[in-house]
Structure 1
Amino acid sequence: MKAFNVRPNALLSPYIERLWGWESDHDEILNLPILLPGTGAEVFFHYRQPFRGEIEGVLHQFDPAHMICVRGRPIKLQQSGSIGFIAIRFRAGRLHRFTAIPGVDLIDSTMSVTDLWGASGHSLVKDVMNVRSSTSAISIIEKFLTSQLNSGSSDLLVEQAVGEIYKRCSNISVSDVAQKMGVSERELQRRVKALTGHTPVEFRKISRVQHVMRELLLNNPSHMLETALKYGFYDQAHFINTFSSWRLGSPQRFLADVRNKSHFYNTSWNGSDKKSA
């Protein structure tokens, strides 16, 4: 399998973590991952076979260009022998800079790029699909995103707050964040909920699980207790109960089942385990 990761240009980098892609080799069958809840959002452009997957037991055929914003409903992607896509990875709370669709309507959404951006999104898909190289496609995507920047309903305070929660999810409280942002807890809760569709506590929970699973899948999956404690869980039972609420069984069973599957987690640009939202 071929893979690439590209940093976005300087204007887009505060909002987009990377542009990346996969392409399967000839006759290669890829065991695609189970997509767990996370804090950001992705937009995929498939120039080969689009994803197929199960969401709450129902088979779903994805559009050739679509978003994925998993918050509470994991997606079990099916294996495929014809994978080729380019994806945009948005930072937590930053997709709203590019679309006016309310955050609550983006939760667990797999909407098409046309639904996300209307006629301009439809034109974007055609332009991306008509070029022959990832470099050209990325140039088209960045130009489009630049034209869409600040077209949505952003809230700078919320962007800073969710970034703070993501980075310090192990030990930060809502009152800590509110104090740092200079607002009351009630106002912080209201504004975060309005933009992201989640309360700060819900966002912190998702951040903690995302950090734990990313580290276990990128490093040593046998260090579950140590990793769970590192990111703010009281004990292993606390982590297991939180993970099991997504109806995927225990995290131990999940890690055993996905040992031979791929995953979409990436190491940070500096090679450390610290990763910005």
Structure 2
Amino acid sequence: MGIQIKEYMPRESLKPFVELFWEGSFNINATTPMSMQMIPNGCVELIIHLNDLHCDLENSNSWSQTPDYMIIGLITQPREVRFQNFVRVFAIRFKPEGIYNIFGIPSALLLEHYHDMSMVLGSGFQEFCHRLKEHINVVSMIQQTENYLLKNLQDRKIELNYVNRAAQLIRNTKGVKIKDLSNKLLISQRKLQREFKDILGISPKHYLRLVRINEVLRLINDNHFINLTHIAYHCGYFDQAHFIKDFKNITGQKPSIFMKDSEHFISRPGLTHYGD
């Protein structure tokens, strides 16, 4: 298939902010250019290139090679990514509200785009990346990264707030209603909507759709042998037409076509199971 991805859980103290770490190799044989569709996973990806060859992404209606240290903001529709050569990366997948806690950067500022993270965070971040690339194995990379993230978290002294709790409740509850969410958090629905959008860039309802479809994708990827109707119901859909519409909006394809052509998609919902 031309790609290899391995995922690793963060230590317990980082789990409220970081979904996982991952290392990936793309276009491994590099005999011809490779193009894939990157499926929205409801997270923010910080990708550190470990070799000098990078992928190509479209940004603001033009194609360009991605920077050494790239932050991909929350995306809500599939994006094409092209690999002209062999590309190897190490990455941190942040929960969309978590990157604000660690770096003070609202996901809303990164929505639907990628950016050069060294331009966003400056010389201290570049020094961290240079040190990281000196490590020869992923375990030591993760240890170095966790120490860096925890130091940033400690320096910022930001506590979890109701936006963190709202996002976590959405991830944990398949059929949550937004009005019930605000009642559980003891804040008004309007305030929740405003603050959630200010930090994540999308509404709680839109984020819920991303989370639901990613649980669908997780079940498909894990080869659960239940039909799509059962999967949709398990993930909080009680209307098949609504499920198919959401699925196509987020993946670009109907479920049956997606499953048939799954090798053309980068679909990595993560390690944290919906409802855990």
Length-normalised TM-score, structure 2: 0.83
CA offsets per residue over residues 210-263 of structure 1, 9 Å max, x none? Answer: 222222233258722221222222332212222333582433323322246554
CA deviation after TM superposition for structure 1 residue 85, in Å: 1.4
Mapped partners of 1:5, 1:245: distance in 2: 26
Q: Distance in 2 between matches of 1:88 and 1:58?
A: 25
Q: In the TM superposition, what is the alpha-carbon distance from 1:194 to its structure 2 partner? A: 1.8
Partners of 1:154 and 1:195 within 8 A in 2? no
What's 1:77 paired with? 81
In the superposition, relative to structure 1, how do residues 112 and 85 fare at CA in structure 2: closer, same or farther (>3 Å)?
A: same
Q: Which consecutive unaligned segments of at least 5 residues does structure 2 have?
A: none
Match of 1:20 in 2: 22
Match of 1:86 among 56, 80, 90: 90
**Counterpart-to-counterpart distance in 2, 1:194 and 1:262:** 28
Structure with the higher fraction of residues in helix conformation: 2
Q: Which structure is higher in strand share? A: 2
Superposed counterparts of 1:142-181, under 5 Å: 142-149=146-153, 151=156, 156-168=161-173, 170-181=174-185
The one-character-per-residue Cα deviations of 1:91-127 (angstroms, maximum 9, x if unpaired) are 2421111222333212123112213322222222222
Structure 1 pair 221/209, CA: closer, same or farther in 2 (3 Å)? farther
8 A Cα contact 1:8 1:18, kept in partner: yes
Task: Give runs of aligned pairs for residues 41-60 of structure 1, distance below 5 A.
Answer: 41-48=44-51, 49-54=53-58, 58-60=62-64
Give the corresponding residue for 2:228. 224
Q: 1:31 touches 1:261 (CA, 8 Å); kept in 2?
A: no
Instruction: Report the Cα distance in structure 2 between the residues aligned to 1:115 and 1:183, rounded to whole angstroms.
Output: 36
Shift of 1:89: 1.6
Distance 1:46 1:221 in 2: 36
**Which of 28, 34, 37 pairs up with 2:37?**
34
Note the C-alpha offset of 1:88: 0.9
Q: Is the 8 A contact 2:57 2:63 kept in 1?
A: yes
Q: What residue is the counterpart of 1:95 in the other structure?
A: 99
Q: 1:202 to 1:141 in 2, by over 3 A?
A: same
Aligned pair partner of 1:9 in 8, 11, 18: 11
Q: Which amino acid aligns with 1:78?
A: R
State the 1:33 CA deviation: 4.7
Letter in 2 for 1:158: V
| Number of the residue aligned with 2:204 | 200
Overall identity of the aligned pairs, in %: 20
Amino acid at match of 2:38: L
Alignment TM-score, normalising by the size of structure 1: 0.83
Select the residue among 123, 127, 138 that pairs with 1:123: 127
Kindly provide the amino acid, as one letter, of the partner of residue 121 in structure 1: F
Q: Work out the number of aligned pairs and report it.
A: 271
Q: Secondary structure at the match of 2:219?
A: helix
Higher relative contact order (CA 8 A, sep 6+): 2
Q: In the alignment, which residue of structure 1 is the partner of 2:117?
A: 113
* Residues 115 and 239 (structure 1), Cα distance of their counterparts in 2 relative to 1, 3 Å cut: farther
Helix, strand or coil: the match of 1:76? Answer: strand
User: Residues 41, 147 of structure 1: CA spacing in aligned structure 2 closer, same or farther, 3 A cutoff?
Assistant: same
